[in-house]
Chain A
Amino acid sequence: MTAETDGGYEFADGIPINPIDQGTIVLVAGPALSRAEGVARTLVADGSDAGEGMLYISTNMTAEKLLNACQQTRPSFDDTRMGVIDCSGQDAAQSTLGERVKYVSTQSDLTGIGMKFSALYEGLYGTVKNGRVRTGLISLSSLSMYVDLRALFQFAQTVSGRIDSAGGLGVLAIDPTTHDTKAVNTLSQVADGRIEVRESESGTGDGELRVRGLPDQPSGWQPFTLSE
């Protein structure tokens, strides 16, 4: 059952990040205007072309909005291997994703989010090539408004442990400007590396990103584009 070691998780040309090893957890950090959440969403959606599973824990967007956002940046996006834990708390309208959406009514219910995540992960893991699943938690900052830091840390670490043990890719979005530095440092402990995102200084592309703590990555700030 263990995923074959057939290379890391790859990204589209507009994202200047080299393949990331299986079992890696990355924190995508940037303020609201930097499109950090868009980067996090795209890092997961890029599994579409590779035939991989894509699983989102979505705090702000409903499953439908999330699906639309993925389709906008990736016109060939294949949603048959997509799963969503929708904890936006908004109207749980029937999603085109059907059984692959699970709803949690409040973001304070970390138990519910965690268990439904586990169940969806299990389902996707069994249906995709070599058990390759990308997970996006978007975002930690939103969850932090409902639970205290220690509970959030425990949740992030448990989710990360499951991703790591299954050879997946974990992408956790955070807006560091909304947290105490100590909170960001504590939450960073669950990740292997960090992708920092900022608005473009030169005005080119959708913004700039910099990879920290991961091997064999470009150094310094690099422009990125989200749309293909």
Chain B
Amino acid sequence: MVHRILCVDPDEDVREETVDKLRSELADQDLRFETAGSLASAEAELTTDTAAVITEYELPDGTGFDLVGAAETACPDAGCILYTDTDPDTIDTTELRGSITEYVGKDSIFGTERLSQLLATTVETRIQATYPVPQNETERLAALRSYDLDNPDLLTSLDRITDLAADHFDVDRASINIINEHSQDFLACYGDAQDWESMDREDSICTFTILEDDEVMAVEDVTEDPRFETRSETLLGMGIRAYMGANLITSTGLVIGPLCVYDDDRREFSAADEAYLRDLADVAMDLIELHSRLDGVAGDTGGTQ
């Protein structure tokens, strides 16, 4: 997996030297470095899959904190590291408050070695994310990528499953979601959920569902759940007050995302409700794996003709 790293320093020589050292100290990692000398040019380089931002504090047209603020919007999962000559005691941190930024002094006796250690940990474990990441995330993402999830026949079948779920639970919205590296994407949708577009993973409820040991997660009221209360305004706007998601688990035990139903009223879900949704999720996963096997067989047959 390639990780995009943005390195920002007004001094071109220092910038290039830092990148050269990181490249050599982290030669075993698949890193792609981009560089910038100003806030404006750095902001232009930010993309959703930027994994880390390393920046000086003093920039000609702003500060490193301005860039951290921009990164929060453009790439919320990215780790930010202030690599600077500026003494941390002299930096006013109150403007950022909620944001977390790592600090490494350029005068550190360890030079860039400490920076590279920290960068490696940051990109490998996504330590500055605002949500927990499954321990088997790399394998989970590899499993997700192994399926052809664009197959129209498969998508039609999955749509039927969301129809069944919505009908059973008498709700206006149901969907099958997949949890990608940085986003939640909708594979099949029922009702108003058809208008939904891909969302940042940090805003998704399902990114917590995939961590559940017992495969199903229910939320009676998002406004009262400490994990979602700060995002509840957006969720209520989507018609989501209550939620239940059941994980789609591959035959190798990895979770690619959940099947979900949403209610715009507060709602409790029973054990029987959870069992029913779990069964539907199992059927959905069986369908995905079956289509994958069929594609494989078709490919083999094609090859022998």
Kindly state whether residue A93 has any CB partner on chain B within 8 Å.
no
Kindly state whether residue B186 has any CB partner on chain A within 8 Å.
no
Q: Is the CB of A150 within 8 A of B227?
A: yes
Interface bracket on A: 35 or more
Q: A148-B230, A153-B132, A161-B127 are in contact. Are A114 and B105 (CB under 8 A)?
A: no
Residues of B within 8 A of A154 (CB): 100, 128-130
Q: Is the CB of A164 within 8 A of B131?
A: no
Residues of B within 8 A of A13 (CB): none
Residues of A within 8 A of B89 (CB): 102, 116
Q: Is the CB of A108 within 8 A of B226?
A: no
* Cα of A198 to Cα of B215 in the assembled complex, Å: 31
Residues of A within 8 A of B202 (CB): 150
Tell me which of B116-124, B146-154, B257-265, B285-293 binds A. Answer: B116-124
Q: Is the CB of B132 within 8 A of A186?
A: yes
* Cα of A189 to Cα of B133 in the assembled complex, Å: 9
Inter-chain CB contacts under 8 Å: number: 117
* Cα of A180 to Cα of B220 in the assembled complex, Å: 14
Kindly state whether residue B192 has any CB partner on chain A within 8 Å.
no
Q: How far is the CB of B184 from chain A (nearest CB, A)?
A: 16
Return the contact of B93 from the options A111, A155, A157, A180 (Cβ within 8 A): A111
Q: Is the CB of B127 within 8 A of A112?
A: no
Kindly state whether residue B168 has any CB partner on chain A within 8 Å.
no
* Cα of A45 to Cα of B114 in the assembled complex, Å: 25
* Cα of A193 to Cα of B148 in the assembled complex, Å: 38
Q: A111-B100, A114-B101, A115-B82 are in contact. Are A165 and B117 (CB under 8 A)?
A: yes
* Cα of A109 to Cα of B79 in the assembled complex, Å: 18
Kindly state whether residue B125 has any CB partner on chain A within 8 Å.
yes
Contact with A along B52-89 (1 / 0, CB 8 A): 00000000000000000000000000010010000011
Q: Is the CB of A157 within 8 A of B129?
A: yes
Q: A115-B103, A153-B131, A158-B128 are in contact. Are A109 and B230 (CB under 8 A)?
A: no
* Cα of A116 to Cα of B105 in the assembled complex, Å: 11
Q: Is the CB of B98 within 8 A of A151?
A: yes
Chain A's closest residue to B87 (CB) is A119
**A interface, over-half SS:** helix
Q: How far is the CB of B103 from chain A (nearest CB, A)?
A: 4
Chain B's closest residue to A183 (CB) is B226
* 8 A Cβ contacts from A67-114 to B: 102, 106, 108-112, 114
Residues of B within 8 A of A150 (CB): 130-131, 202, 227, 230
Q: How far is the CB of A103 from chain B (nearest CB, A)?
A: 9
Q: Is the CB of B226 within 8 A of A162?
A: no
5 residue pairs, one from A and one from B, having the closest CB atoms: A161-B127, A112-B93, A189-B132, A165-B121, A118-B103
Q: List 22 A-B residue pairs with CB atoms under 8 Å apart, sorted by A's residue number.
A: A110-B99, A111-B99, A111-B100, A111-B101, A112-B93, A119-B103, A122-B105, A122-B110, A126-B110, A148-B226, A149-B226, A150-B130, A151-B98, A153-B132, A157-B127, A158-B100, A158-B127, A160-B127, A161-B121, A164-B121, A180-B225, A182-B225
